[in-house]
A and B are shown apart, each in its own frame.
Chain A
Amino acid sequence: MKLFNNVSEFEYPWEQLSAANWRKYPNEASTHVKAVDVLRRELDPSGRRLISERLITCEQSVPKWISMLIGGCNVSYVREVSVVDLDTKTLTLRSCNLTCANILKVFETVKYSPHPRDSKKTLFEQEAKITAYAGISKLCNKIEEWSVNRFHENALKGKRGFDTVLETLSERWNISESLVDDIGSSLVDKINETVEDFKAVTEDLPKGTRHESSFLSGNYSEIRKAFTKSS
């Protein structure tokens, strides 16, 4: 298993950011995220805590050798559970891939909260756990390494994407405080560049990531697991 952490900030207040979160994927312009569906949504009796379960449908883009291994599915699904808490002012999103979960599992936790020193900003914290389950440890490592690279590639892209969404929504927020269904086509143009990568299976994390465990220790644990299983 490999672990990644990342902290960054957005130049928008938390409230605005949490509202924008629900419209992050106008899919028409995005290439990876094809659809977003709400599967379950419950409001706490207090009216201050909202839990949502969403299904994110992505077009898969994996290396040929992985898709051969997996069997050539070109659509992948991610399940996400999010909690908006008005009392702690946090939006926490936890997601995991449903597709090919027996081979590779990416569990991502993202938390948005008001910046402790500047209420006009939002703090973004991210953690991802990547686990490959293939039988041979070498292969596991290869898949994990590939995932790491994907994270890097899409890093800045994703952050920039959400920033442009926020920018556009922000203009309207200031005009009417209403984020109703009126984003217009300018948003589509802006989003065109990026948003798709914000979240999904392995190809979707917003910013640079760093290793928390060395390749070697990852290796050892896989080897140990293999031995434990066979004995």
Chain B
Amino acid sequence: MGNIMSTSFAPECADLKHTYDKCFNHWYSEKFLKGLSMENECSKQWYAYTTCVQAALVKQGIKPALDEARKEAPFENGGEPEKVE
């Protein structure tokens, strides 16, 4: 804690998250929104952050529920749930 930006559910990933967020927010308003970017430019920061997060998801036991939700509302679908009867 002690940061203005939101932290990570995994304390060990918080610093990596802040570094990534900072890069992303800048990219988002300065490049993406202006239609100036063909790629997400924060890949280096992203890789470090996501590696940490993926491990923490498993460690904290969140992964199974997450996988279930992903099946139900796929990312590729923009998070729209598949029709269930």
Contact = CB atoms under 8 A, between A and B. Distances in A.
- Our verdict on whether A and B bind, yes or no, reads yes
Interface of A: 15, 18-19, 22-23, 25-28, 33-43, 45, 47-48, 50-51, 53, 55, 57, 77, 79-84, 86, 92-96, 98-99, 101, 107, 177-181, 183-185, 187-188
Interface in B19-62: 20-22, 24-26, 28-30, 32-33, 35, 37-40, 46, 49-50, 53, 57, 62
Interface size class of B (residues with CB under 8 A): 35 or more
Interface of B: 1-10, 13, 17, 20-22, 24-26, 28-30, 32-33, 35, 37-40, 46, 49-50, 53, 57, 62, 65-66, 68-70, 72-73, 75, 78-81
18 contacts: A27-B7, A28-B4, A39-B50, A39-B66, A42-B40, A47-B37, A55-B9, A55-B62, A81-B75, A86-B35, A94-B79, A95-B79, A96-B81, A101-B65, A177-B29, A181-B22, A181-B26, A187-B4
Given A28-B1, A48-B35, A77-B62, A22 B25 contact: yes
Given A23-B25, A38-B20, A28 B73 contact: no
4 A-B pairs with least C-beta separation? A81-B79, A94-B79, A47-B38, A98-B65
B69 to A, nearest CB: 5
A85 B21 CA distance: 20
B26 A178 contact: yes
A19 B65 contact: no
